[in-house]
Amino acid sequence: MSFNLPNPGLFGILLVISTHSGPLLVYNYPQDLSEDTQSAESSDDDDLSYEDKSVDQEEIYEAGYSYGNEDQYKHNEWDSRHLNYYMGTKKDLLPYLEDQENNRRIPKGNQKPTKAKEKSKSSNNGTILGMEPAYLCEMLAPPKSMCNSRFEITIDDRIFLGLPIHKMDDGSWRPLKKKGRPSKDVSESTPKVKENLIMFHLVFILNPPIMERNYRIDEMFHYVISRLSLVLRFEQHKTSYISNQLRLMIALREESDSNSGGSDVSNFHSIFTEKSSLCKLISVCYTAISKSKIANLSINGTLRSFQIPIKTEFHSLPETSVPYLPGSYLSSTTNLLLNTGLINVGQTSRYGHAGSLLENDETSSSLDDIMHLALLLLYEPDKIIRDIVIDPESKFANFIYLINPTVSILKLASDHKMDLKEVKSFLSHLIYWRRARVMQPINTRSVYTVSPMAPILQKAFEDIAKFSEIFPTLPSLTHFLKQLSPQFIKPQQFASIIPSRDHRSSYLDALGWLIRNGYVIQLQTFIWLKISPKVKLRVEEDLENEATLTKKRSQGSKIVTVGGTDNTSKVQSKDAITGGEELVQRDDTIEALQKRLTAIGPSILFGEEEESIILDPGRATTLERKWINRIIFEECKLTHELTTTFYKLLKYMNGKSSLEMLLLKENISRNELRRLLFEIEDHIITVRHW
């Protein structure tokens, strides 16, 4: 099992409608949904078929699965119903497929596969998974109260998932502002269906592996079903698109009946698919989504894309036993894309139900941060422009030609006086269409190293040849990687491996290639402020002096009684464990504090004489601010300029925002930062990772 690999498990799509005369299955794709026949047939092919996983075979096998530690599973019993069933190597695949096919031949429950299959082959009067369409329709046409929200039923291990859309009481299709009578209530001459249509429901039939069930259906609902259903609702509301399509289908059927005398029933399906744009889009949607491709659907003349994005960006290292796609990229920068919906971060728990669909505001603010990054094209510009079919003279194409991984998008836009909104739209499309990835601009002064996810086992052999073909004058791929991960010293700035100025640009190109293909990642620097016992002691002394002074004048100060140095630092260390919980309130009693601290256990507490780490200076307590000031003004005696820089740096001292991001976002030079870090060296903890 791996959520890192695409596995849509889409078995078919149904269009169910309700009219005043009851529910009706109008169209289904593929035509034969009587049993799981498609996959059984394909497993006769060579060992690379594997189509029942519904992933895009060509693409993934071309790349080769990344299986992590192969040996771990070598001796496992091979059971296609078991959760480990595709954590195998290629050579395990054949027995697996055979096994699966055998399982499939055993009829399950009340289904009668053979009969159903014969029937459906002869006409579209067949069953859906052994069930009569009329019976199934009753279930898939829920009452109004259950419409306009997620719909899900499971029948014989198949999940029927959709977002049924019901007509509003006022006759319109969208719950909008009062004025929203249907904008064009088309002529009364239209046959019954139009007025009759009260509900339509695009039902996706899924058969995900049991262990992935919730994940896969959430993913499908979030990325495809909900979005597509709402677009259709919009079209129905605006132009009666669904009603018009239904009328068209009735007309087609009548025409066909009168031509063939009603004998040629089986033809409806192909006629519908060909002539009705609604049926066509259902078939195109099925074909693309079931292969993990991007479905480009023409909905009443407008082209829209739907897909379950493939997971190729990781912000943390997946477990070694969990497969992922080779060439995947590892960077904490990926976090910046979390809310954009452009990539798959593999957390379906983040997807609300139908609610979170229009996340545009969130998306566009997340894109602001991304503008500081650069785009790395995953293919040659010409190929991209050809493949996504845009005019080579267009602004979009022009933008693609300008993309340079060494330059931030913001700079690119300002250098060429481009409209930021337009640029955001271009870059979103390139990321969504799997043509580009964002990353920090490639820089000779940044540090790069071999990715722990590098596809060494899967692809290195062919890539070594490719690399030397593309960069004939450079060292080999293996030599490059060795230099980037030196054995006895820590990784150096990229500049250190560039032999001369003349080599600079070819080395940067090669670096881009290595990053694009998942071999190399950027190392980033994360820092925290640490408070030494000495600083704490000095601040405590100051406080005591202050307190004495204050006491002389009035009554005791609350700060001294409650915010005792060591106790605050212990509370702080609690924060380290729970990961970002609010600091304990100042007015907590010492008893309460102690209770919480004992609950955590003594081993992780910093002793009285030990250092504290300030985890989030953005939310520093009064005492912590005193420590910080002590460091700035007394311990390091920073100059005025460096103090200013220090305050800019402060909010990055949380172990989450890297210094490399700081250089990109704040107006601080590398030199200035270096000087500051040198001065405060004794008071920081540095961690380097992706």
Ligand X SMILES: *[C@@H]1O[C@H](CO)[C@@H](O)[C@H](O)[C@H]1NC(C)=O
Residues that bind ligand X (CB under 6 A): 123, 125, 239, 241, 244, 265, 288, 293-294, 296, 300-301, 305, 388, 433, 564, 566-567, 590, 594, 667
The CB-of-89 to ligand X minimum distance in angstroms stands at 29
The CB-of-673 to ligand X minimum distance in angstroms stands at 11
Reference 617, options 659, 572, 682; nearest CA is 572
The CB-of-461 to ligand X minimum distance in angstroms stands at 28
**326 and 518 Cβ atoms separated by less than 8 Å:** yes
Which amino acid would we find at residue 293?
Answer: K
- Looking at the DSSP bridge assignments, the partners of residue 377 are 436
Residue number with CB closer to ligand X (58 or 98): 58
Output the residue with the shortest Cβ distance to ligand X. 564
Q: Which tokens is 499 given?
A: 């032999």
- DSSP secondary structure string for all residues of 335-393: GGGGGGSSS--S-GGG--SGGGG--HHHHHHHHHHHTTSEEEESS-HHHHHHHTT--TT
**Conformation bin of residue 351: beta by default, left when phi > 0, alpha when psi is -120 to 50:** beta
Residue number with CB closer to ligand X (265 or 456): 265
- Looking at the DSSP bridge assignments, the partners of residue 158 are 155
- For residues 294 and 287, what is the distance between their CA atoms, to the nearest angstrom? 10
Residue number with CB closer to ligand X (89 or 305): 305
- For residues 439 and 406, what is the distance between their CA atoms, to the nearest angstrom? 10
Residue number with CB closer to ligand X (300 or 468): 300
CA angle 89, 92, 96 (to 5 degrees): 130
Tokens 């023409």 -> residue: 298
Tokens 């702080």 -> residue: 572
The CB-of-146 to ligand X minimum distance in angstroms stands at 27
Residue number with CB closer to ligand X (265 or 583): 265
**103 and 95 Cβ atoms separated by less than 8 Å:** no
Which amino acid would we find at residue 561?
Answer: T
- DSSP secondary structure string for all residues of 613-654: EES-GGG--HHHHHHHHIIIIIIS---HHHHHHHHHHHTTTB
The CB-of-12 to ligand X minimum distance in angstroms stands at 18
**Backbone dihedral angles phi then psi of residue 525, each to the nearest 5 degrees:** -115, 125
Residue number with CB closer to ligand X (125 or 493): 125
Tokens 């054949």 -> residue: 94
Residue number with CB closer to ligand X (94 or 388): 388
Cβ count within 10 A of residue 80: 18
The CB-of-130 to ligand X minimum distance in angstroms stands at 12
Residue number with CB closer to ligand X (97 or 165): 165
DSSP strand pairing (199-206 vs 295-299) = unpaired
Which amino acid would we find at residue 551?
Answer: K
Residue number with CB closer to ligand X (104 or 516): 516
The CB-of-210 to ligand X minimum distance in angstroms stands at 29
The CB-of-567 to ligand X minimum distance in angstroms stands at 4
Residue number with CB closer to ligand X (350 or 595): 595
Residue number with CB closer to ligand X (63 or 94): 63
**Conformation bin of residue 319: beta by default, left when phi > 0, alpha when psi is -120 to 50:** beta
The CB-of-268 to ligand X minimum distance in angstroms stands at 11
DSSP strand pairing (612-614 vs 520-531) = antiparallel
Q: How far apart, in Å, are the Cα atoms of 225 and each of 150, 355, 423, 668?
A: 9, 13, 28, 46
Tokens 């194409």 -> residue: 397
3-class DSSP assignment, residue 168: coil
The CB-of-123 to ligand X minimum distance in angstroms stands at 5
Residue number with CB closer to ligand X (300 or 335): 300
Residue number with CB closer to ligand X (93 or 242): 242
The CB-of-346 to ligand X minimum distance in angstroms stands at 21
Cβ count within 10 A of residue 110: 8
The CB-of-320 to ligand X minimum distance in angstroms stands at 31
Which amino acid would we find at residue 468?
Answer: S
The CB-of-296 to ligand X minimum distance in angstroms stands at 4
- For residues 369 and 374, what is the distance between their CA atoms, to the nearest angstrom? 11
